[in-house]
Amino acid sequence: MKKNLLVCLLLFCSFGLGMAVTKMMQPSSSETATLKRVTGIGGIFFKCKDPLKLKEWYKAHLGLNTDQYGTNFEWRQAGDSTKKGFTQWSAFKETTKYFLPSTREFMINYRVADISSLYTALKNEGVTICDSIDSYEYGKFLHIMDNEGNKIELWEPNDEEYDKMGVKINGGRTK
């Protein structure tokens, strides 16, 4: 009888300790509310049979100014209209492995404000994270999976460097 009572007490204590640790690991509602998450759409990427032909079709029929990567839609940021922002449109060969582990035909890139803090929050929330943060002159990137198996690219942009990069390669811009 004492042994059963002790086992029950230990189970109850370990359950309570587990719940307390879980609660401590989750961000408080005030932390969640203050963390900027997605700030806009950074790009739309999709698979197709012939990216070159498709880009030419969009150029001819819809007026997209395409280059080897697709096109950039240039816009002005709402918080400061003197600053540019960009949304990338890219067609990938249907055999690309860039969307893996997702088997979907598309991937959306979301612009985020603070990728490091968001990474920590998403990890604590149990979101599937595909890789670590990659840094380039034009921004930082992280890939995650949503609950239906869609790969999502998160991008903390450096719009000034991204703009310079597009000018250097004489990149396509659709305004």
pLDDT digits over 126-144, tens only? 999 999 999 999 999 999 9
One domain for residues 54 and 96: yes
* Same domain (yes/no): 27, 72: no
Same domain, 146 and 113: yes
Number of domains present in the structure of the chain: 2
**Does residue 62 share a domain with residue 47?**
yes
The single residue listed with the structure tokens 């990216």 is 51
What is the reported pLDDT for 8?
Answer: 39
- By the 8 A CB rule, do 25 and 124 touch? yes
* Together in a domain, 6 and 44: no
**Long-range residue pairs from 143-150, CB within 8 A, at least 24 positions apart, any chain:** 145/101, 145/102, 149/101, 149/102, 149/103, 149/104, 150/102, 150/104, 150/106, 150/107, 150/108
Mean pLDDT value across residues 153-171: 80
pLDDT digits (tens, 9 = 90+) for 63-100: 999 988 899 898 898 888 888 899 999 999 999 999 99
Predicted pLDDT at 165: 80
CA distances from 127 to 120, 149, 157 (A): 10, 11, 22
17 shares its domain with 68: no
Is residue 43 domain-shared with residue 17, that is, in the same domain?
no
Which CATH number goes with the domain that contains 75? Answer: 3.10.180.10
b/e burial code for range 89-101 (CB count within 10 A of at least 16 → b): bbbbeeeeeebee
The more confidently predicted of residues 77 and 154 is: 154
What's the pLDDT band for 12 if we cut at 50, 70, 90? very low
> Are 115 and 58 in a shared domain?
yes
Both 20 and 76 in one domain: the answer is no
User: pLDDT > 70: what percent of the chain?
Assistant: 75
**What dihedral angle (degrees, nearest 10) is formed by the CA atoms of 60, 61, 65, 71?**
-120
Higher pLDDT, residue 126 or 175: 126
| Domain, as residue range, for 22 | 1-32
Asked whether residue 73 falls in the same domain as residue 158, the answer is yes
Structure tokens at 19: 């719940």
Co-location of 19 and 76 in the same domain: no
Compute the CA torsion angle 111, 39, 144, 153 (nearest 10 deg). Answer: -20
Q: pTM for the full model?
A: 0.75
**Residue 19 clears pLDDT 60, i.e. is over it:** no
The alpha carbon of residue 125 and the mean position of all alpha carbons in its chain are separated, in whole angstroms, by 16
**Does the pLDDT of residue 153 top 90, yes or no?**
yes
Question: What integer best gives the mean pLDDT of the chain?
Answer: 82
Residues 42, 27 share a domain: no
